[in-house]
Amino acid sequence: MSKLKVGDKAPKFKLIDKDGEEHGVGLDKSDYLVLFFYPKDNTPGCTLEAQGFSALLKDFTRRKAKVIGISGGDQKTKDKFCAKYDLKVALVSDTDFSVAKAYGVFGDKKFMGRVYKGIYRSTFIVDKSGKIAHIFDDVKPDGHAEEVLGVLKGL
C-alpha cells in the first residue's frame, strides 16, 4: 500500500532505461505519466503486465500519456526482457529501490513462508503539474493496462 494519496506531489526521479535514456517525473512534457511498478523482469506476471502496456502504447500516446515501467535489475536485465518479449514500453532500473521506497511500494513480501524485501505491484498516474491523479494498489497483471487506460480516459 502506498503512503501517497491522490493529489499529493509525485516524488521526482531520474532513472535510465536499457538504452541509457533518462525517464522520470519532471523530465517529460506529456499530459500524464503512467508509472507501473513491477516486482521483477522476466517473471510471468510482470511479463503479462509489460506486454499489456506495450500492446496499448499507441492508445496511451494518443491520450498524451507516457508509460514507464519501474523495477529493480539493471540495464542488461531490461534489455534482455524487452528483446525476449518485444516490449515497446520504457522500462527503467531502480537498482537501489529508492524510487519504489519514495512511492511507498517497497517492503516485506511473503512467498511460500519466506519473507523478503521487494516491490509491490502498483501503478500511479501523474498529471502534467506533477500531482498524483490516480493510484492502483494490489494490481493484477492481466488486463491492468486496459484498466489504466479506462481511468485515463476519464481524467
Provide the annotated active-site residues: 46
Return the SS3 of 18. Answer: coil
66 near 113, Cβ under 8 Å? no
Dihedral angle of Cα 24, 142, 103, 96, to the nearest 10 degrees = -70
How far apart are the C-alpha atoms of 113 and 101, rounded to whole Å? 23
Residue 49 is placed in which grid cell?
503486465
Handedness of CA 10, 11, 14, 18 (dihedral sign): negative
Question: Which backbone phi and psi does 93 adopt, to 5 degrees?
Answer: -95, 120
Q: List Cβ neighbours of 147 (8 Å cut-off, separation of 6 or more).
A: 136
